Amino acid sequence: MLWAVHLFCIWAGVCTLEAPLVNTKFGQIRGLDFERSDGQWSELFLGIPFAKPPVGELRFEKPVMVDKWENVLDATKYGPSCPPHNKSVTFPPSSEDCLHLSIIRPKDLDEQRKLPVLVWVHGGGYSAGSAANYPYPGLANIYNAQRVIVVEIQYRLGFLGFFSDGDNLPGNFGLWDQLAALKFVQEVIEDFGGDKEKVTIWGLSAGGASVSQLALSPEADGLFRGQIAMSGGSLMNWAFGENVLNHSRALAKELGCPFNSGLKPCLKALPLEKFYEAVEPLGSTQYSLDLLKWHPRIDGDLYPESAEKLIEKMPKRPQIMGVALKESLFFVVLNLAKSIHKLEVDPREFKNFDRAELERRIKDLVANSEYYHDQKDAVFEKVFAEYTRGEEHKQPGFYLEMYSKLLSDLNFNVGLVREAQLRAENDLPTFVYLTEHFNKAIYPEGYEVTGATHVCELPYVFELFPLGKYAIQGNPVEEKVNQFFQQSFINFVKTGQPVNKISPWPSVTTENVADLPYVHITDSPRLQRGGYFARETEFWNRIARDYHFDAVTLTKTEKNGKSEL
């Protein structure tokens, strides 16, 4: 009989024979075993609550630490996802009782040697996503095999996570959830064999912005020692913003709740379904450079000052940060994440995306009266000339690609450069990368506009293939890129330095920031100095300075081009 069970374990990859049991100050936790691709075993503890369910009187409040439990906690499956802003994107099933985390560790730990810890914060535009969307096999295969423990956390999303009236509901509940999860990790991770002094936080997209934002807050001091921010940062225009107040006001009106001291009780009393009914006529997305409806804001509490000022005061934790070369192709050409934006172009219209269409979209999204008032025409002329070099282009896809590049620059590239520069000026260790390598399998056959885009690194760091499946093993180029990412990230978690056998990777400093060094991840990753979106950054800095509005942060600027803080 035991032989038969052993065969089942091998076939299924997971096994509950002699299930692992961990004692914590909150109670006992039972997990399950997982056989990794290297033939060794990991232990999974899934769906552990770290806070009380944020329901009833706890809805739209900061998270409260979970109470102790009496019975053994069954942690053998992921918990439900947090409700998204758009009901149609719910996967897996959601519940407001969603503040759970999962711990994935190697089996047979040495009690005398605590392991470093990597905490994953999922993305999804602050409005969708879950830990279960990033399942444990890849995390165990990659990181447990190199003696790193991984934690996956969840947080409130959309209106439940970021609704704000500016006063009684300051917002940022989703980020407070992330902090609560990190505090829980500090309380229990040593029971799982982890070193609470060696915690690194990591995310991509809104998860990448989240870890950059967490690092800014004084509330996060002592909770982690470094961060990896992929395709997301605290100075990108969708990371912080006050327009969430307008969207909150509109939602409250649709719900029939007063936008005064009676707002919070009204919102707490409504069933979740009423929120979704109210979202329907308002729409869950918008055709705007202001990419997201729901996101963090500078609230005077979690963030007592602007992001720029907080960077000047933050602890000297190291940070890896970078983007893919053509981030916005994910949104524009691949038509993905349409639940959070309206910037896509229908594939049937690719061939019709001409000069006139690019002109129209620049005027709609950037050079408009809301941002630049009576100077909008002058701004349009400069922007259009910059992105077309003032010439008529006839090659297929040119104007479509320039539209995507415009969005990449404004939503990702320039904000990242500014953050890297500001970190360097304040002696914060910063390691920058640019992903140019991509596998053609991520695009449908016949697409003329292609390139490295949003989430294209997931195969190397997660064993996930959201854009198209392809083989890594047996392909020398893919193996080299894979090796670069995994060695760099694992060594960063262990030592704070992204050491790898492929390319040197120096930090950006005050001495070298003018020729910003970065690893250029081509088919053969290599160190490069200078040229990291330098022209684009200078152009948009000049527009902000000359026309008193910064399209990168979506804020008015002073005469020197700096945002009004």
Q: Report the catalytic residues.
A: 205, 327, 454
User: In the structure encoding, which two tokens stand for residue 77, read together?
Assistant: 């499956």
Contact 277, 327 (CB under 8 A): no
DSSP characters for 66-110? PPP-SSPEE-BS--PBPPPSSGGG--S-B-S---EEEEEEESS--
Q: Which amino acid is at 19?
A: A
Amino acid letter for position 288: S
Strand-by-strand arrangement of the 27-30 sheet:
21-24, 27-30, 73-74
How crowded is residue 5: how many other Cβ atoms within 10 Å of its Cβ?
A: 12
Angle at 135 between CA 134 and CA 140, to 5 degrees: 115
Q: Which of 337, 345, 302, 299 is closest to 85 using CA atoms?
A: 337
Extract the tokens encoding 280: 């329907």
Q: Quote the crossing angle between the two packed helices 355-365 and 398-408, to the nearest 10°.
A: 20
Q: Helix, strand, coil shares of the chain as percentages rounded to 5?
A: 40, 15, 45
Burial 470-484 (b: 16+ CB within 10 A, else e): eebeeeeebebbbbb
Give the 3-state secondary structure of residue 521: strand
By the 8 A CB rule, do 231 and 210 touch? no
